[in-house]
Structure formats: C-alpha cells, structure tokens
Amino acid sequence: MQDYQSVRDQSVKICSSLEIEDYIVQPHDFVSPPKWHLGHTTWYFETFCLREFFKSEPFNPHYHFLFNSYYESQGEHVPQGRRGVCSRPTVSEVLAYRRHIDGRMREAESMIATRDPESRETWRNVVEVGIHHEQQHQELLYMDIKHILSHQREQPALAGAPNDSATETAARTWREFRAGVFETGWSEPGFAYDSERPRHRVFLEDFRIREGLVSNAEFHEFIEDGGYQRPELWLADGWAWVKASAIRAPLYWTAPGKQYSLQGEREIDPGSAVAHVSCFEADAFARWKKCRLPTEAEWEAAFGEEPCAQLWQWTNSAYLPYPGYKPFPGALMEYNGKFMSGQMVLRGGCLATPEGHYRSTYRNFFYPHMRWMFSGVRLCDS
C-alpha cells in the first residue's frame, strides 16, 4: 500500500500555485472546483473510515451534504452542477478539514491494530481504495484545473504541472496478433479496482495494432480533408454532437497552430500525439484512415506489459462488467458498477496519472463525447 500521507499531500501540492479564486469556479457541470476535490477526498476518509469504524462525530455537519459526490447510500448531496455555487467553506477551512482528518486517520491507524483480523482487513481495504481514489482525483484535478484556466481570458499556466504540450509518439509500425484465447483482467494479489476483475478468457480474431499514437500532423490532415464536415465518417450520435456543439478541432486548439496547455498557450507540435479528442472524434479519424479503434481486450493483449503512457487511448469497448464481476462490498459498491452504462473504456494511463496508480488492466471510462481528459487515438485493424 502506498503511503497515506504522501498521497494526501500531493493533492494539496497540485493546487498550490492556484489563486484562491481558481479553487471555486465550475465552467461546466462535468468540471469540479479544485476546492471540492480537496473536500471530497477528505470526506471519503471521514465517512468510510472514521465514521464507519469509529462512529466519529462529523467535523462539520454541512460537509456530508457538500462533499458527497454520488453515493446514494449516504443520503442527499449537492447536485453536481451546483458545486461551483459554494463559496463556503473557504479554501482555508477545507485545508484545515484535511489536516484534521489526516490527524484523526493517524490516530485511527494505531487504534485499528487492536481490532479483530477481519476488521483490520476491511479497514485496510477501505483505506487502500481511499488512497487510489485520492489519486484518481489528482488526475481529475489536472483535468479540471486545465479546463478552468483555459476559460480565463489571460490563459494562465499552472506552475509545476506536467508538460502536456509536447508528447512523444512511437513509430507508425504495426504489431500483429494471431487469433486465439487471451487472458484479460487482474488476478495478482495487489490492489486493483473491482471492475478490473476477475481475470477471464476472451477470444480474439486476428488483428494488428499501431505502435505509435496518432499525431497532431495526422489529425490536421483529417481536418484539412473535411473530416468534421463529412457525416459518412461519423457515428450518428457523434455527428449530432459535432453539429450541435459546432466542433471543428480537438479541445484546446484555440487558434490556427495554437493550443492551450498547462504551460499556457503553445504552438501545436506536429510530431506530438493529438490529445483531448472525444471517442467520437477518435472513431471518425480511424474510419477516415480505413482503420478502427481497438477493443480493450485487443489493447491489453498488445500493451499489457507496458508502463503508464502519456495519453489515454480510446477503445471501442463499452464499459461493461467482466464475466463474474463482483462490486466492492458495502457502500463502495457504488464506486464503479453503477456507471456501467453508456460509457466507453480508455486504456493506457496518461501524463497526469500519479505514479503508482496505474496498472495495465486499468479501465478508465467516459461518455463518448467527453474530451477534457488527456485522451489520444490508437489505431487498430483486422
């Protein structure tokens, strides 16, 4: 298990160069204010560890309403789109809340040692999920901060952020695979989310998959070839989205040859991998290339041994339960399972994924029109 406190500290550190004002705003419903992330990840430990195991009194009775995300079993909570209306508690109060709960967690760790082995095991699991949960929100913090700052007229940079304006793409060569039964999913003793389990067999027909991600230059060709104006390249839902939202380029391509990045406005590097595209755009690009997106099983067969990548890669697999899927027990059953509808899987990790958080069986998921995550395009072919 990773160290609780160092993971906790990292969340605060990511935000440390923000202005107070930046912690508060919510440009769209799908973005959460940084302050909310700092409160919510703390609420996790207060609710599922301290309250559950020690019946602790709430730090502040309003926080249970304000910092619950979507756990219906935990009662009413502020609607997702109204997080940006909460000026109170202040950032400073939320940081105090974090310190308080961290202190209580340290005490709890010593007290839990006196409990029976089953309780100790459950505690350990809930804390471990909490640490990984915190790390997921660290990646979300980068996504949401980037979105918030991109909405400001002065387009400020985020000091200390990973470099997202220049990424590597490997060669355009293909890896080839022969049909057969493959194993997929997590079976090791260490931590993995419920949705990555159980390891099971899948049959894959012949396929090949490209070594390097699609580059900005390749995507620019697609645009130049009228890619955003040709319905025959698009899924019907994607085409409706392109028209309704007047989409004409990847997110953060702000002007010809320019993009917004965590380093501020930068030239678009033709050789870097295209980023911040939706699954609809990835799919249209692949069709234009007379290719397709990989399934997640194909992806895992091909890249199951590789380290965390710089960009997530859209697959054409819906986020659905593996055969034999069992959700986390208790209130954490809501962690993943209830989102298995309408969303698509991304694989591979990205430059904003915290160290120690990634596994090659990791199933990230978003709705197919979303593109504020660090997402790129991997091509596949039969």
* Residues at the contact surface with a copy of itself, assessed by CB under 8 A: 19-27, 35, 62, 65-66, 70, 72-73, 84-91, 148, 151-154, 156, 179, 181, 200-205, 207, 231-232, 234-239, 280, 292, 295, 316-318, 320-321, 323-324, 333-334, 338-342, 368, 382
**Residue 90 C-beta: closest distance to a copy of itself, Å:** 5
Task: Find the shortest distance in angstroms from Cβ 357 to a copy of itself.
Answer: 23
Nearest to 165 by CA among 307, 19, 310: 310
Of 99 and 201, the one with the shorter C-beta distance to a copy of itself is 201
Give the span between the Cα atoms of 164 and 216, in whole angstroms: 13
N-to-C CA span, the chain: 40
In this structure, the chain runs to a length of 382
CB of 323 to a copy of itself, least distance (A): 4
State in angstroms the smallest separation of the CB of 301 from a copy of itself: 13
120 alpha-carbon distance from chain centroid = 29
SS3 sequence of 93-145: HHHHHHHHHHHHHHHHHHHHCCCCHHHHHHHHHHHHHHHHHHHHHHHHHHHHH
Eight-state DSSP code of residue 292: B
Q: What is the DSSP string of 307-337?
A: ---SSEEEEEEE--PPTT--PPSGGGGGTTG
Give residue 202's identity as a one-letter amino acid code: V
Question: Cβ of residue 201: shortest distance to a copy of itself, in angstroms?
Answer: 5
Closer CB to a copy of itself, 109 or 197, in the complex = 197
Q: Which helix (H) or strand (E) holds 281?
A: helix 279-288
Q: Which is nearer to a copy of itself, 26 or 215 (CB)?
A: 26
E strand or H helix that includes residue 42 = helix 34-44
CB of 75 to a copy of itself, least distance (A): 11
- Closer residue to a copy of itself, CB minimum distance, 169 or 184: 184
Provide the minimum distance between the beta carbon of 74 and a copy of itself in the complex, in angstroms, as a whole number: 11
Nearer to a copy of itself, 168 or 205 (CB): 205
CA neighbor of 370 nearest in space, from 287, 299, 312? 312
Between 23 and 362, name the residue whose CB sits nearer to a copy of itself. 23
The sign of the dihedral angle between the CA atoms of 13, 141, 320, 249 is: negative
- CB of 100 or CB of 200, closer to a copy of itself: 200
